[in-house]
Structure 1
């Protein structure tokens, strides 16, 4: 009796290589966006002086003053940068980059583009980015009125892709095996509390609230999605 042939090492590696090779073709919008984010990150980190970089990011921050003064450029420009690091792998900032850029954009946004198409994937991302930003602005305004946040929050730096990534991560729950959905939901809701920021009052730090609101918007899409698919004849690819 002959023993079954062992699979060659190449047979185990090939599916991974095939997936990497197919990634740009199946998720071109995500690849283009990641390249843009890496380019703007390199430009801000290495192509500008520290003062000029800080001035640029301050202009695109979606704080209350900027949303009142130039809302469109702040909302759109904020999505061109990510707030984190790619080199200091032991820092909290790298952990945030791994979650938002790695899991959120490279992983979940690419999955959404493959399954729903580029427009719906981009819409899910923008819903979190813009919707959560505006809702957070309302929370900040109310908190300032009651003295729950310091006045400096009006000019705080708040830019990046994390709200959009959070919304896509929440919406991508539907694509996971059933046994892993609850742990993933808990992770999506818990990681915004991992920065170690002190609560300035009865509310968490405003960016934590923003991430929770972005997740809520992403989860809400799962509730309305089946209705929209039935009414429009949508089918996953």
Structure 2
């Protein structure tokens, strides 16, 4: 029973080596208690000492920071953003307005290429936004004139329609893209045809100017191009705006169709003037995207991938 009277090799008659000023002798048969911060106080039997606690905290800190940042070993890392070239073209889910409108324009272009020329000429004249038609049926001709592509599907405005409206719709949505397109189409048409009517009334232009053939999507495309430049980053905004301005000014200087060429420049100006409104629309749309993604519905995830 020697283990009852000794502790750490000390006899029961030996005074305890406690803290400073502690002269209480050790009781026989009871192990001596240590009160200081010695080796046993900071070991596994007692509470962890200051050095051990600091080491544990320093070892746990990187793990907690990594877990908070989502960069731990078991944390799922966000997927890398890959360039998807098909997003440059319209899709029925990602850009429904541009996709449906492009299908409609393709159908009317094929009809214009393969139908009876006399029938096509009659339809184009009936869809013309000249002064006479605007005075009689303004809403009808404003919509009908936007159903045709001057020059067909191989024209520059047809190609610009696909890329410009797709990029704009992906940033501000389909309804707002339609508002920008048809708003620019209607305002630029009225701004160019009303002066023609006034000039004819003043005797500065012949009466044949009241029946000039005017149709196509060029005004709407130019407005959307100017609007798109406002919601793109700076490194892409200014080259796009400079290129479109160059084309508009070059056509105006060529003086082939000054009324339409002035309309193109005016449409571009309308698109640039809409930058503050479009940026608010874009910010509102991007603020809603994370909320939709948090729902976790497969259909919503599929929409975001398109």
CA contact (8 A) 1:83 1:160 kept: yes
Deviation at 1:195, TM superposition (A): 4.5
CA contact (8 A) 1:125 1:164 kept: yes
> Quick check: which one's helix share is greater?
1
Range that drifts further, 136-145 or 151-160: 136-145
Residue 35 (str. 1) matches residue 103 (str. 2): yes
Deviation at 1:153, TM superposition (A): 2.0
CA contact (8 A) 2:90 2:98 kept: no
Equivalent residue for 1:76?
Answer: 143
CA contact (8 A) 1:127 1:217 kept: no
Q: CA 1:126 to 1:154, structure 2 compared with 1: closer, same or farther past 3 Å?
A: same
- Aligned match for 1:58, one of 125, 138, 146: 125
How far apart, CA to CA, are the structure 2 residues paired with 1:135 and 1:21? Answer: 31
- Aligned match for 2:167, one of 101, 111, 114: 111
Q: CA 1:209 to 1:31, structure 2 compared with 1: closer, same or farther past 3 Å?
A: same
How far apart, CA to CA, are the structure 2 residues paired with 1:169 and 1:85? Answer: 19
Q: CA 1:205 to 1:176, structure 2 compared with 1: closer, same or farther past 3 Å?
A: same
Structure 1 stretches of 5 or more lacking a match? 1-13, 87-93
Q: CA 1:176 to 1:56, structure 2 compared with 1: closer, same or farther past 3 Å?
A: same
SS at match of 1:234: helix
How far apart, CA to CA, are the structure 2 residues paired with 1:234 and 1:161? Answer: 28
Residue 136 (str. 1) matches residue 186 (str. 2): no
Deviation at 1:197, TM superposition (A): 7.8
Range that drifts further, 181-190 or 31-40: 181-190
Q: CA 1:23 to 1:149, structure 2 compared with 1: closer, same or farther past 3 Å?
A: same
Structure 2 stretches of 5 or more lacking a match? 1-81, 290-306
Q: CA 1:158 to 1:149, structure 2 compared with 1: closer, same or farther past 3 Å?
A: same
Q: Deviations over 1:19-63 (max 9, x none)?
A: 4798443112211110100001111220x2111110110000001
TM-score by length of 2: 0.60
CA contact (8 A) 1:143 1:149 kept: yes
How far apart, CA to CA, are the structure 2 residues paired with 1:148 and 1:209? Answer: 18
Q: Deviations over 1:202-222 (max 9, x none)?
A: xx7100111111111111110
- Aligned pair count reads 206
Taking only aligned residues, the RMSD between alpha carbons, in angstroms, comes to: 2.8
Equivalent residue for 1:190?
Answer: 246
How far apart, CA to CA, are the structure 1 residues paired with 2:284 and 2:195? Answer: 35
TM-score by length of 1: 0.76
Deviation at 1:169, TM superposition (A): 0.6
Larger RCO: Structure 1 or Structure 2 (Cα < 8 Å, ≥ 6 residues apart)?
1
How far apart, CA to CA, are the structure 2 residues paired with 1:22 and 1:80? Answer: 18
CA contact (8 A) 2:230 2:278 kept: no
Residue 125 (str. 1) matches residue 181 (str. 2): yes
